[in-house]
Amino acid sequence: MSATADVPARTTPARRRSGSWDGLILLVLALLAWQGMHLYVGEAALASPVKTLTFLAGFLRGPVFWGHFAATLAAFGWALLIGAVGGIVIGLVLGERRFAGDVAEPILAGLYAIPKVTLYPMILLIFGLGMSAKVAFGVIHGIIPIILFTMGAVKTISPVLLRAARAMRLTRRQTALEVLVPAVLPEILTGLRIGFSLTFLGVLIGEMFASQRGLGFLIVNGINLHNVPMTTGMILVIVLFALAANGLLLWLHRRFGGPSATPEHA
Amino acid sequence: MKLKREHALTLARLGVIGGAVLLVEALCRSGVINPLTLLPPSRMAADLFGLLASGQIAHDMAFTAGTIGAALVLSIALGFGLGVLVHALPRVRRALDPLLASYYSVPFFIFYPLLVAIFGLNAFPLVVLGMAFAAPAMMMSTMAGLDRIPRVLLRVARAHRLSRVETVRQIVLPSAAPYLFTGMRLALAYTFIGVIAGEFIMASSGIGHAIAYAYEGFDNNTMYALMLLVLVVVTVINMSLHAYETRLAKRRARA
């Protein structure tokens, strides 16, 4: 995913002001495109922005939405937790053991590139219909980039840093906390950001296929029942959620990534 | 010494993959894994061979290959064009930057049912989904490639009074080539994922649809054979492209 994670550089206030204008213009353009698309394809395929927002205003007040939202959020939360902890631990171990890491890297990269959707029936057969299948599917989407980025971060730590730590006679604990963690944090954050998006994708696809709960189910259900505002509204909710989460993670990256953050790598 | 390490790595990789396959085979054969859950890999291979020989899935394979091909060509053309255009317009690029940075955080498959509602249940929404997934990767790779053309080469071109076309042919394309190639490789992987996933969620033909159909009909033999087919095809394509890229990089380093 070499091109997917460009972290915009720090901006000056003047640039930021023109940036927020740009954002506004983009938003207006997106709304116009949406309205135009609606006029072009008709009421039966895509609801207009006004109608979608009116529908959402009512739907978000009822209990139905929040039940499905909670189901998606719970599956996503577990999948992300398992993927993040497992990915970072495996990545640290593989990064430290050169040979094992070199053996694993192309295998993991190969697994990363296969269309994992096709494996979903197998997950369903193993875990059964329901929550655990969705979680497992989210994990297999998200864990590999987290492993790869963590591994890469540990492998490329500059030996100078470790030598400096030894020269200053830092304890193991101090070395880990003061040297290793800050050195690998930016890359791990990038891995987590990509893992976050892919885990979300995995959980939603899981819900769109063979599920009775969650936002992904609501989209497919809206199509099947010809409830166009429902489908359009749920897509809007998911897009906004994804953009907000990604914005937050980008901000975290800039805040804690430090000067050594390497956007090209992502 | 270095060659030996390469050999050891390859052997270890083969050992890991072969060991995993053998382990699954043994677990299935001994009955630890229920045959209703997972079939032994040897069985999958035999079933796949039977399917291929019977010609039953030829239609689905042709449909998927055609859809992927169309989506791939269109996303490379569109991504390259947009990349060149936006690269030439820094103001537009600055405005688009945050959008591109968060583009892949949006789970695009959720748009697929909408595309089906708009275009109907045929190959067209699949092509659009594949393009939505692949074209931005090509676009970003193109811009990255154009960004990294060494200034000094452009100055050399001016010193030699090369025409615009000649500059592009002799300087720009060769310098940007590795990035363009990476972009194409990503575009291929993404169209594969986009098209097959779309077929899987909702479609009337294609390999992804055949897998979903077999799952719903409790036809594990066909389902696992088709999964194996997808895994093998994607892995072979990826590995050959990767090998080609590595060879290209080596030749470049020598030159």
Is the ipTM above a cut-off of 0.90? no
Question: What is the spatial distance between Cα A131 and Cα A134, in angstroms, rounded to a whole number?
Answer: 5
| Residue A110 sits at the chain B interface (C-beta within 8 Å) | yes
Q: What is the mean pLDDT of residues A154-168?
A: 85
Q: Which residues does chain A have within 8 Å of residue B141's beta carbon, measured at their own beta carbons?
A: 2-3
Mean pLDDT of chain B: 87
Going from the N-terminus, what domains does chain B have, and what CATH number goes with each? 62-99+106-254 (1.10.3720.10)
Selected residues 17-46 of chain A with any CB under 8 Å from a CB in chain B: 18-19, 22-23, 25-26, 41, 44-46
State the number of CA atoms in the 13 A half-sphere of B215 facing the CB: 26
Answer for the pair B51, B222: CB distance below 8 angstroms, yes or no: yes
DSSP B150: -
Q: What is the mean pLDDT of residues B56-69?
A: 92
Q: What is the pLDDT of residue A76?
A: 94
- Point out the least confidently predicted range of A7-16, B25-34, B64-73: A7-16
Q: Does the structure show a pLDDT above 90 at A50?
A: no
pLDDT digit string, tens, across residues A206-265? 888 777 888 988 988 888 888 888 888 998 999 999 989 888 888 887 877 654 444 443
CA of A126: which chain B residue's CA is closest?
Answer: B37
> How many CB atoms are closer than 10 A to CB B47?
20
Q: What is the pLDDT of residue B226?
A: 92
Q: Does the structure show a pLDDT above 50 at B223?
A: yes
Q: Which of the four pLDDT bands, split at 50, 70 and 90, describes residue A13?
A: low
Q: What is the pLDDT of residue B1?
A: 52
Going from the N-terminus, what domains does chain A have, and what CATH number goes with each? 47-265 (1.10.3720.10)
pLDDT digit string, tens, across residues B80-95? 999 999 998 988 888 8
Q: What is the pLDDT of residue A258?
A: 54
Q: What is the pLDDT of residue B142?
A: 92
Q: Does the structure show a pLDDT above 80 at A44?
A: no
Q: What is the pLDDT of residue A261?
A: 43
Q: What is the pLDDT of residue B62?
A: 93
Q: What is the pLDDT of residue B104?
A: 84
Report the candidate in A226, A217, A250, A242 with the shortest Cα–Cα distance to residue A44: A226
Name the residue facing A45 among B94, B101, B118 (closest C-beta). B118
| Residue B1 sits at the chain A interface (C-beta within 8 Å) | no
CA of A239: which chain B residue's CA is closest?
Answer: B106
Q: Which residues does chain B have within 8 Å of residue A121's beta carbon, measured at their own beta carbons?
A: 211-212, 214-215, 223, 227
Nearest-CA distance B188 → chain A (Å): 10
Name the residue facing A3 among B12, B110, B186 (closest C-beta). B186
Q: Which of the four pLDDT bands, split at 50, 70 and 90, describes residue B2?
A: low
Mean pLDDT of chain A: 83
Q: Which residues does chain A have within 8 Å of residue B89's beta carbon, measured at their own beta carbons?
A: none
- pLDDT cut 90: percent of chain B above it: 33
Contact A197 B105 (CB under 8 A): yes
Q: What is the mean pLDDT of residues B223-233?
A: 91
Q: Does the structure show a pLDDT above 80 at A77?
A: yes
Question: What is the spatial distance between Cα B10 and Cα A184, in angstroms, rounded to a whole number?
Answer: 28
Most confidently predicted of A122-126, A127-131, A196-200, B158-162: A196-200
The burial class, CB within 10 Å (0-12 / 13-18 / 19+), for B145 is buried
| Residue B100 sits at the chain A interface (C-beta within 8 Å) | yes
Contact B102 A250 (CB under 8 A): yes
Question: What is the spatial distance between Cα A182 and Cα B245, in angstroms, rounded to a whole number?
Answer: 33
In the structure encoding, which two tokens stand for residue B34, read together?
């229920």
Q: What is the CA radius of gyration of chain B?
A: 23
Answer for the pair A264, B145: CB distance below 8 angstroms, yes or no: no
